Structure 1
Amino acid sequence: MEKICKPYSFKSRAFLFILIFLIFSTNSKAFEHFLHSPNNYGVTGLMSIPTARVMKKHTFRIGVSNDTPYNHYYFTISPMKGLELNALVTQINGLKAFDISGYGSYKDKSIDIKYQLFKEGKYTPAVAIGLIDPYGQVKRYSSQYIALSKKIYPFDFTVGLGNGRLGKEPLPVGGSKFNLQMFEHPRTWLRQSNSFWGFQFSPSKKWALMLEYDPIEYTHDTSDPAQSFYFERKPPKSHYNIGLRLNLTSLVEVDLTYQRGDTYGFNISMPFVIGRPMIPIVDHIVTYEDEKKYYNNFEKRLAAALYKSGFRNIKIRMVNDNLWLEAENDTYFYTPKAIKVIGEILSTIKNKPIKKVHIILAQNQIPILEFDTTKRNIDDYINGKLKTWQFLYLSKLRTDIYKGINTPMLYPHRFTFELKPSLETFLNDPSGFFRYRIGFTAGVKYRPWKGGTFFTEASYYPINNIGTINQPLSIPVRSDLPFYLEHKFALDNLLYNQIFKFPENVYTRLTAGILEIEYSGLDTEIAKPFFHGKLLLGVSGSLVKKRSINNPFEFSHQPYDKNYYHTEFLRMRYYIPFVRNAFVDVKYGRFLAGDKGFMIRVSKVIKGVTLSAWYSFTNTNIFTDPYNIGYHNFGIAASIPFRLFKGRDMRTVYNYSL
């Protein structure tokens, strides 16, 4: 009997029509939008698996995700092309961490690293390697993986291999050594790895669909506290996860997921561009002609325009047809911008025979640099006849000056007052994982003479829950810090600072008084730049005494404190030639506790925001407690200009370290 093929049903034809419409209506811009989205843990990926995609250069995101029993809180950043760094806190809901109140559920901190080895080509996939939780005293979710991703519009396919958390068995949990099995024992890594795969379908800029195979063995991963607490009694029903990715606004993305065959989850992330002002910055520049009705004298008129445009301690002198101008930049975050503003003011001078212009920028009356050019070049640059590189080529910049202009100062600026908000955090104490204090800091500077500054700063934190149940360690140079931070009021500084600049670009600094929240004493440094500022070498040292916890004007009398602490360092700063605006600081010598060794700090400046990470190697055998023996001091920091939030230029920055 002949088999009669039934025609497609209406539902089938409608589904096929919609699918074809979605595929052929997809455009590359819509498709590209979701390629840089985060997975559950913050790194670029789908849900549980990473992809070979990375964030766009000089962007960062913050986010929170949930897939029972986990909550994930992450901060991810791309400081340079192809590199992605992720700071993650994983919370296991319902699993008590300590037998004390306050800390709540179990939490784990980790750092993840991903680097894209190869960009995607016309016929070749993108390739990336990643390290999950590679370092720390406890590495519960450690893994190393390789991922490959290829776009076939409107799909983005990913396959990969990973060990540890993503593999067949967990990696060792304890010890402070890096987990780098992928590089040290590649055959073992390959044997212990699982494969993973997934794809993303992005027909619209507003939404995308995800499907992945999750290789994690939740019921066998004994390094994960959730294994015995949760998955032994509720094993996952599936290795397949599906999700819907929604772009709600340019600043908010939401993933709605169904994972492990029995768990609903979500992921909320907010992407940002590093250094982009939240409020457009507007400059208030007063020209030379604007002051014509107030002053007839050339020097006073020009000085008034400079003062009202943000400069202080101004000196002006005409020598024949040469204009010498010295000023302190009190407003503009970038030095080149300060020079450009001065140029804009000078370009409005029309009836003065000026041929050459010498601009000296100083700090506290110490000349920092001299910029030499001509009045004609300034006019052509401001009027658009010269490009920036042409203007700089025709000009000359010097930093080896140490004497300023010998002429009376106009608009002297001796006192400076600064008020700024302050946020300090203290993480992972047994009494509570997230401790913080929020308030403001007020500082006053008085500059009585060249290079000299009296400085005092006090802080008030009306919101403060910092505290600890830990006791200071064997040599408590910093382990008693929480006892200082728990006070609402703090006298942070009360000191005198003197800087000298000698011939050959030699700088010296001497500081005496209350240096910081824990120590008072003396601190000194001498340094000199080499190779046009690419290398800076110096020596430094300090002799300090621990301050009292309860009285800001007394010294500590705790039995565990030494009479004095001292440091001696050889220091170096080197600007990395192949990475723009990046430098490495290295110091070798004796640290406060008496341990000797190195500290390396790597920094990258991105549109005024300075990102740093440091790591130390010292002889910790001088300690008697188990926590410091074998310990390496490491951390991350950011210096953020307030100009990004104020709508006007300013030099104030906010420093945060973790």
Structure 2
Amino acid sequence: MSQPILRCRRSGAALLRAAAAAVVLAGAVATQGISQNLAEDGALPPDIGSEEPSFTPLPATSLNFYGSPGGIDMPSAEMLPDGTFATTLSGFGGQNRITLTFQATPWMSGSFRYHQMRNLNLFGFKTYYDRSFDVRFRLWREGRYRPQVALGLQDFSGTGLFGAEYIVASKSFRTPAWGGLARDGGRLMLTGGVGWGRLGSYNSIGSLGRRPTYSGATSRGGEPSYDQWFRGPYALFGGLEWRPNDKLGLKLEYSSDTYVTETQTTSSFTRRSPFNFGVEYQWKPATRLGAYYLYGSEIGLSAQIQLNPRHPVTRLAVPAPYPVQPREQWAGPPESWDTAWVDSGETLQGLRARLAETLKRDGLVLESLEVGAETAELRYRNPRYTAQAAAVGRAARALAATMPASVETFRLVPVSDGMALSAVILRRSDLEALEFDPRSSAALLAVAGFADAAGKPGPTAMAGPGLYPDFSWSVVQYASPSYFDPSLPFRLDLGVDLRATYRPAPGWRISGKLRQRVWGNIKDGRLSNSVLAHVRTDATLYAQEATTLENLYVARQWRPGRNLYARLSLGYFEAMYGGLSGEILWKPVGSRLGLGLEGNYVIQRDYDQRFGFQDYDVFTGHASAYLDLGKGYAAQVDVGRYLAGDVGATFSIDRTFANGWSFGGFFSQTNVSAADFGEGSFDKGLRFRIPLSSLLGKPSRAGLGLVIRPVQRDGGQRVHVPGRLYDQVREAHRSGLEAEWARVWE
């Protein structure tokens, strides 16, 4: 290695140490400033600086019967901790509710609810089921003297049967110690608010115009009823919650819901009083149980489960990584590092073998290695780690442990099915200097480079030994749910899948899945009444056979040019469709914007899901825009033609956490009218994914994902094609890596 390069390396390390010190100092100043701002805003006690830091988590926010922060049946102004995913099961007076709530931001949450009302004898149903969405916004935080205030819309996009709007304020106070029950003092939460709709139906104190009559469950539902919001009679509600300790909670509230439908239109229960009483117990850190006496006549029960990605169920246990040992400790001073080994093919083969074995220990697969006197490019596959940043860190340390001392620059190229996703450039001296630095992650990110990767390895690159052709198979259990059939709201199929994949060469994939149902009742569900082509609503007919071919396809993906990614697929893509699909994606490594174009010619498969097709084919395709909004949020817009021949757009937004948890929602608007679409008026839904690593406590890229639609109809539907490009690419680009960069040293 030449002397000028050595001088650059030394001066760079000195500059890096100075930069790391500056980062530490700036971080301390920033942290102090953030704490001061939070205290002024009421998020932290004003005297936080005078107390020792406490790491005891705050007690879980209690939820009401609607699954939102609140008392018993009324809301409060509290918010769940950011990112919390809560499930609430509650019931009283012949009613059962299950609610999924997600705290999407610190100031906004959304809920989806499924409501069962027994013996209602309403709208032609003895037992009536209702689906609804809620949204809540925090208007301002609680301060030393001011309460926290929130605004909420309840059942704003369902049938409107539970429609209500409210503005509510809550203020918390510390209470003094009291005997053994509140030995260290407790917390008292006072809440008061004004509500419209259901929450303005009892003892109203005024009216803001006339609230339009809504046809309720006899309508299609699904369309926001803007003309009703904050209209009509309004009434006051309120309550208090006393928590003498971290386990126990006592509640009292005054309800402004007169339950007209349940007590007057029908006789589900008798409402004798507006007062409700309850006691709750924090059974587990994530589970809260409650018992209540409601409306002077009913006993109610609830269970609240709150999960947060920042507090996983189990601690992730991973093997310790290889330490980065500075070269000067084992290779002598830099002046003695020579490059004679470069011309030895036998030495290069040995380097590849040692590196492949080192990567294998960490669950990574060596795709190719190209080594020069001062630079090494490693292309690797990551089948283990949810966070690509964790794989980058492991790959970098594997190189540091095996490469000759003269190799200073590492180019790390993650590969997905033979397609290079990006290139992360790290200096070896940076790894040596920063591994044990207090701000190692931020400092390493500051000196890391991100670039596009060439479509193919260089001419002198050595392929991983024995990679292609490759054949793999597995047998796994499956659970396939079906929701919201009025005769049986939840149906389920259980069985096993036999999966097999053959990779003849980089970028090529031949894959198939056989499914054997062991038990299930989806086949007994209701048949479609859609007036559109039955592109999705014939799920019952597709569930009749116990043994099916779920998919069988061949796919090729490659890099056609700079910042470009391409895919071509042919075969049986999913249970209902097969055909030909092509996709191209433009996505620069350093850009938050991506643009894609996909076209599919598909034919509907026979109900038995063997090799035959029905007499329905369609060309469907979309132009897509993807935007990374930062802090884990990503937005997507797809414009094009859907399976039923309708034309329109789908809008979606998702939030992904550094450990792989994700939650999002979507809706589609097409040229299909609400009348032709049927129940629900337009396609919409929620989706979430929980990585298995957070449940099992060991690294895994697998996860449990679910898409929940209030109703499955035929408008706005797309074909499910395995291996779409953006999800493969996003996590390996700069914004995706930065979001999880703290895991680079795992």
TM-score normalised by the chain length of structure 1: 0.85
The whole-number CA distance in structure 1 between the counterparts of 2:106 and 2:72 is 23
The whole-number CA distance in structure 2 between the counterparts of 1:126 and 1:181 is 27
Q: How does 1:333-344 map to 2 (within 5 A)?
A: 333-344=386-397
The whole-number CA distance in structure 1 between the counterparts of 2:109 and 2:124 is 37
Pick one of 162, 170, 182 that aligns with 1:149.
170
The whole-number CA distance in structure 2 between the counterparts of 1:605 and 1:289 is 30
Query: Structure 1 unaligned runs (5+)?
Result: 1-27
What residue is the counterpart of 2:527 in the other structure?
A: 470
Q: What is the CA distance between 1:420 and its match in structure 2?
A: 4.0
Q: What is the CA distance between 1:426 and its match in structure 2?
A: 1.5
Q: How does 1:17-28 map to 2 (within 5 A)?
A: none
Q: Match for 1:193: what amino acid?
A: Y
The whole-number CA distance in structure 2 between the counterparts of 1:454 and 1:134 is 46
The whole-number CA distance in structure 2 between the counterparts of 1:629 and 1:253 is 35
What residue is the counterpart of 1:14 in the other structure?
A: none
2:697 is the counterpart of 1:647: yes
The whole-number CA distance in structure 2 between the counterparts of 1:632 and 1:305 is 52
Q: Match for 1:656: what amino acid?
A: L
- Structure showing greater relative contact order (alpha-carbon pairs closer than 8 Å, 6 or more residues apart): 2
The whole-number CA distance in structure 2 between the counterparts of 1:652 and 1:411 is 26
**Partner deviation per Cα, 1:144-192 (whole Å, 9 max, x = no partner):** 1111111122321111111111113886223543123576xx5xx2x52
What residue is the counterpart of 1:441 in the other structure?
A: 497
The whole-number CA distance in structure 2 between the counterparts of 1:654 and 1:399 is 31
What residue is the counterpart of 1:211 in the other structure?
A: 252
Q: How does 1:296-307 map to 2 (within 5 A)?
A: 297-307=350-360
What residue is the counterpart of 1:132 in the other structure?
A: 154
Q: What is the CA distance between 1:340 and its match in structure 2?
A: 0.7
The whole-number CA distance in structure 1 between the counterparts of 2:425 and 2:681 is 51
2:506 is the counterpart of 1:460: no
Give 3-state SS (helix, strand or coil) of 1:297's partner: helix
What residue is the counterpart of 1:178 in the other structure?
A: 224
2:488 is the counterpart of 1:426: no
Q: What is the CA distance between 1:629 and its match in structure 2?
A: 8.9
Pick one of 621, 635, 638 that aligns with 2:685.
635
2:214 is the counterpart of 1:163: no
Pick one of 63, 68, 79 that aligns with 1:43.
68
2:148 is the counterpart of 1:105: no
Pick one of 318, 323, 326 that aligns with 1:283.
318
Pick one of 336, 349, 365 that aligns with 1:312.
365
Moved over 6 A (4+): 28-32, 97-100
Structure with the higher helix share, 1 or 2: 2
The whole-number CA distance in structure 1 between the counterparts of 2:550 and 2:267 is 47
- Relative to structure 1, the CA distance from residue 268 to residue 653 in structure 2 (aligned partners, 3 Å threshold; closer, same or farther) is closer
**Partner deviation per Cα, 1:180-230 (whole Å, 9 max, x = no partner):** 3576xx5xx2x5211111111122112121111111112xx2xx3564331
The whole-number CA distance in structure 2 between the counterparts of 1:120 and 1:508 is 51
Q: How does 1:366-377 map to 2 (within 5 A)?
A: 366-377=419-430
Query: Contact 1:303/1:316 (CA < 8 Å) preserved in 2?
Result: no
Query: Structure 2 unaligned runs (5+)?
Result: 1-52, 175-186, 203-210, 326-346, 709-746
Give 3-state SS (helix, strand or coil) of 1:380's partner: helix
Q: CA RMSD in A?
A: 3.0
Query: Contact 1:253/1:268 (CA < 8 Å) preserved in 2?
Result: yes
The whole-number CA distance in structure 2 between the counterparts of 1:411 and 1:331 is 19
2:308 is the counterpart of 1:273: yes
What residue is the counterpart of 2:541 in the other structure?
A: 483
The whole-number CA distance in structure 2 between the counterparts of 1:78 and 1:587 is 25
Q: What is the CA distance between 1:405 and its match in structure 2?
A: 3.7
Q: What is the CA distance between 1:368 and its match in structure 2?
A: 1.3
Q: What is the CA distance between 1:316 and its match in structure 2?
A: 2.5
**Partner deviation per Cα, 1:22-70 (whole Å, 9 max, x = no partner):** xxxxxx9999956711101211100010000011111122231122121
The whole-number CA distance in structure 2 between the counterparts of 1:355 and 1:176 is 59
Q: Match for 1:473: what amino acid?
A: S
Greater CA drift, 524-533 or 45-54: 524-533
- Relative to structure 1, the CA distance from residue 287 to residue 390 in structure 2 (aligned partners, 3 Å threshold; closer, same or farther) is closer
Query: Contact 1:36/1:53 (CA < 8 Å) preserved in 2?
Result: yes
Give 3-state SS (helix, strand or coil) of 1:348's partner: helix
- Relative to structure 1, the CA distance from residue 163 to residue 98 in structure 2 (aligned partners, 3 Å threshold; closer, same or farther) is closer
Greater CA drift, 313-322 or 335-344: 313-322
Q: Match for 2:197: what amino acid?
A: G
Q: What is the CA distance between 1:654 and its match in structure 2?
A: 2.8
Q: Match for 1:162: what amino acid?
A: G
Give 3-state SS (helix, strand or coil) of 2:540's partner: helix
Query: Contact 2:417/2:557 (CA < 8 Å) preserved in 1?
Result: no
2:641 is the counterpart of 1:616: no
Query: Contact 2:80/2:103 (CA < 8 Å) preserved in 1?
Result: yes
Q: Match for 1:496: what amino acid?
A: V
What residue is the counterpart of 1:80 in the other structure?
A: 105
Give 3-state SS (helix, strand or coil) of 1:230's partner: coil
The whole-number CA distance in structure 1 between the counterparts of 2:98 and 2:151 is 22
The whole-number CA distance in structure 2 between the counterparts of 1:195 and 1:156 is 17
Pick one of 531, 534, 542 that aligns with 2:600.
542
Query: Contact 2:223/2:681 (CA < 8 Å) preserved in 1?
Result: no
- Relative to structure 1, the CA distance from residue 331 to residue 35 in structure 2 (aligned partners, 3 Å threshold; closer, same or farther) is closer
Q: What is the CA distance between 1:460 and its match in structure 2?
A: 2.7
- Count of residue pairs brought into register by the alignment: 604
Q: Match for 1:632: what amino acid?
A: F
Q: What is the CA distance between 1:646 and its match in structure 2?
A: 2.7
The whole-number CA distance in structure 2 between the counterparts of 1:443 and 1:288 is 37
The whole-number CA distance in structure 1 between the counterparts of 2:57 and 2:503 is 54
Q: What is the CA distance between 1:259 and its match in structure 2?
A: 1.0
What residue is the counterpart of 1:359 in the other structure?
A: 412
Q: Match for 2:492: what amino acid?
A: Y
Q: Match for 2:295: what amino acid?
A: R
**Partner deviation per Cα, 1:285-315 (whole Å, 9 max, x = no partner):** 675999xxxx993332122111232122432
- Relative to structure 1, the CA distance from residue 41 to residue 202 in structure 2 (aligned partners, 3 Å threshold; closer, same or farther) is same
Query: Contact 2:595/2:626 (CA < 8 Å) preserved in 1?
Result: yes
- Relative to structure 1, the CA distance from residue 213 to residue 447 in structure 2 (aligned partners, 3 Å threshold; closer, same or farther) is same
- Relative to structure 1, the CA distance from residue 375 to residue 589 in structure 2 (aligned partners, 3 Å threshold; closer, same or farther) is same
Give 3-state SS (helix, strand or coil) of 1:53's partner: coil
- Relative to structure 1, the CA distance from residue 77 to residue 307 in structure 2 (aligned partners, 3 Å threshold; closer, same or farther) is same
The whole-number CA distance in structure 2 between the counterparts of 1:530 and 1:307 is 30
